[in-house]
Chain A
C-alpha cells in the first residue's frame, strides 16, 4: 500500500455490553440448576477503519448503530471486547491510564451536550487551566494563564469572561469553551461526538466553522460522529455508514453522495428532508431498527432491506472494494442485482 501511514487505525473492533450483571445474579445461579441465558448488546461488530493525517472521517448512522461507542472506544472511555486500536503505529487499546497519558495530549474529544460537558462548579478559567497544569506541570502561572487566554481567543470567546461559570453562557458559547478545553493540550486528533446536534441551526454553522478553522490552523485530524448527513457532506473527507454496529459502506464523501451503493445508505440519503424538493421520493424501509441484543446471523440490514434474499439471511456480507474505491458490505451490490 502506498497510502501514508494512518494516524488512527482500528482493526476488527468489537464491543459487547453484558445485560445481566449484578452480583447476586451471578452468585446465586452458579450452583443452581436455573442458569440464566447471558444476554449481550452487540454495540460494535468487527469494525475496521483508518484515518489518515489531515482527514475528517465522519461516522454516520442512526441511534443504536454504535457510532458513539466507536468514539468512546477510541477515546479510551471504554475497553474493546475484541480488536485493536492503533494510534500513529502504536497499539493503544490495551494500555493503562498512566501509559495513555502521553496520548491524551495528542487525542482529545468534544461531546454532544454543551450543557453537560463543562463542570458547572468550575469557572471557565479553572476548567481551562486544569488540563494545562496537569499535562504541563513545569509551566509557570503566567504561562498557564497566557495559554488559556490564547485558546479562548482562538475559539472566539473573550478572555475577560474567564471568571464566569458555564451557566452564564449560551449553548453555542459553551460548546466553543468545550472545544477550547480540548485544544488546551494542543492535540492533533479530535474525536467529535455529535458536537452540533444539540445546538440551534444558526449556532450549528458557527461551531462548524470554528471546527473547520481549527482544522486548517492547527492541522487537526477529525473523527466526527453524527447522524446528520448534510453536515457529513460539508465537513467530512471520508464517510463510514454504520448500521447495527457494522460498517455498511465506507468511501470518500463525494463518492458516497454521488453514488451511494449500499441499500441502507441509499435509504438514509433519501430520508433527509430536502429544502427545494416538492416531491420527496424517499425509500421506505420495512419495519424498524432491530435491537442489537440478538444479532441476525446474516446481514444486519436484511430484515429491512428490499433486496434481501436467502443468502443475505444466512451469510454476513464482507466489505468489498468497489471500482470507485468505496468499501461496501452487501451481497446485492456484490452480485450486481441492485440496479438491474
Chain B
C-alpha cells in the first residue's frame, strides 16, 4: 500500500518511538513507573497458580490452626507464611495473588462489557441523533444520577435474596461483571457520543456521505478511528473504577464470597479482626488494591494529558 513511500518513510517502530505519545511517555517517569508496576502486578497475579506457595481455594491446604499469623517481619510469625495468614488460616500472600487476579479479571471484563455497550450506544446516539439520541441520553442521565454503586448494590442485594447466598456465591463473578458492566454504560456512551457529535460536524463526514458511503461504513471506518483517544482514556479510568466498585461490593458482602476472595472480600474479612490487632489481613490487601488502582489512574492521567481530550469523571 505504501510501496511508493517506504524508502523515504522511517520504519513503523521508529515512527511509534518518535511519535508525540511515545515521547511524552518517555519523558514522564511517573507514567513509566506506573506501567512497570501495573505490568508486574498483572503478570504475577495471572501467574498465581505457578507462583503462589498455597492454593487458597483448596480446603485441604487450609488449617484453621494457622490463622492470624502476622507477616514475617513481625514477632510471632511463621516463616512459612511470608505475609502472614488470615482468619481462616490461609496464606495471605497466595490469597492476595489469587484475589488480585480476580479483581483484575472482573475489572477488565466489566470494562470490556461497558465498552461494547457504551461504544455501540454512543455511536448510534451520536450518529443517528434526533429522538433516539434524546431518549438514550435521558436514560443515561437518569441511570448516572443513581450512581453505579447504588444500582449494583440494589441489583446484587435483590439477586442474593432471590437465589440464596449459596447459588449467588457460585455465580458471583458473573453477576459482578454483568452488573458493573451494565451499570456503567452511560459513562462510556456519553463520552463516545460527545466525540461522535464533534466528529460528525467535521466536513470529512459530509464528504464521505457525498461520496455515497453507507452509515455503517462511515461510523466504523471514519468516525470511530477518530474517537479512539477519549475511548482509550476513559477505558483506563473505568478499569480503575470497576476494580474499586468490585472491591466495594465485595466488602459489603454482595460480591465475591470469603471462600473465593477478591481483594475487597479479603479486606472485609480482615476488618472484623482489626480491633484485635490483626491489622495485616486488612492492610496488606488494602495496599495492593490502592497501588493497583493508583497506577491505573496515573496511567489514565498521563494518557489524558498526552491525548488531550476534554474528559471528566462525573
Interface residues of A (CB under 8 A from B): 21-24, 72, 75-77, 97, 100-101, 104, 107-109, 111-113, 116-121, 123, 125-126, 130-131, 134-135, 159-164, 178, 181-182, 185
Interface residue B64 (Cβ < 8 Å from any Cβ of A): no
Residue among B130, B138, B210 making CB contact with A24, cutoff 8 Å: B138
Given the contacts A23-B134, A119-B204, A159-B4, A97 and B210 also touching, CB distance less than 8 Å: no
Residue among A21, A111, A134, A185 making CB contact with B206, cutoff 8 Å: A111
9 further A-B contacts with Cβ under 8 Å, apart from A111-B203, A125-B4, A163-B2, are: A21-B130, A75-B210, A111-B206, A112-B203, A118-B204, A121-B225, A134-B213, A163-B6, A163-B9
Are A178 and B2 closer than 8 Å at their CB atoms? no
Are A119 and B203 closer than 8 Å at their CB atoms? no
5 intermolecular pairs with C-beta atoms under 8 Å apart: A118-B207, A134-B211, A162-B5, A163-B6, A181-B207
CB proximity of B64 to chain A, nearest CB, Å = 59
Contact with A along B258-289 (1 / 0, CB 8 A): 00000000000000000000000000000000
Contacts of B210 in A (CB 8 A): 75-77, 104, 107-109
**Complex: A116 Cα to B134 Cα, angstroms:** 26
Are B213 and A77 closer than 8 Å at their CB atoms? no
Interface residues of B (CB under 8 A from A): 1-2, 4-6, 8-9, 130-131, 134-135, 138, 202-204, 206-214, 222, 225-226
Contacts of A22 in B (CB 8 A): 134
**Complex: A309 Cα to B242 Cα, angstroms:** 70
Count contacts between A and B, CB distance < 8 Å: 88
Contacts of B214 in A (CB 8 A): 97
Given the contacts A22-B134, A109-B207, A104 and B212 also touching, CB distance less than 8 Å: yes
CB proximity of A183 to chain B, nearest CB, Å = 12
Are B206 and A77 closer than 8 Å at their CB atoms? yes
Residue among B138, B211, B225 making CB contact with A185, cutoff 8 Å: B211
- The residue of chain B having its C-beta at the shortest distance from the C-beta of A100 within the complex is B212
Contacts of A108 in B (CB 8 A): 210-211
Are A135 and B212 closer than 8 Å at their CB atoms? yes
Residue among B2, B4, B202, B208 making CB contact with A116, cutoff 8 Å: B202
Are B138 and A111 closer than 8 Å at their CB atoms? no
Contacts of A72 in B (CB 8 A): 206
Contacts of A117 in B (CB 8 A): 202-204, 206-207
Are B5 and A160 closer than 8 Å at their CB atoms? yes
**Complex: A134 Cα to B222 Cα, angstroms:** 14
Contacts of A120 in B (CB 8 A): 204, 226
Contacts of A75 in B (CB 8 A): 206, 210
**Complex: A45 Cα to B225 Cα, angstroms:** 38
Are A163 and B4 closer than 8 Å at their CB atoms? yes
**Complex: A21 Cα to B2 Cα, angstroms:** 47
CB proximity of B221 to chain A, nearest CB, Å = 8
Contacts of B213 in A (CB 8 A): 130, 134
Given the contacts A22-B134, A24-B134, A113-B203, A77 and B209 also touching, CB distance less than 8 Å: yes
**Complex: A24 Cα to B135 Cα, angstroms:** 8
Are A116 and B204 closer than 8 Å at their CB atoms? yes
CB proximity of B200 to chain A, nearest CB, Å = 11
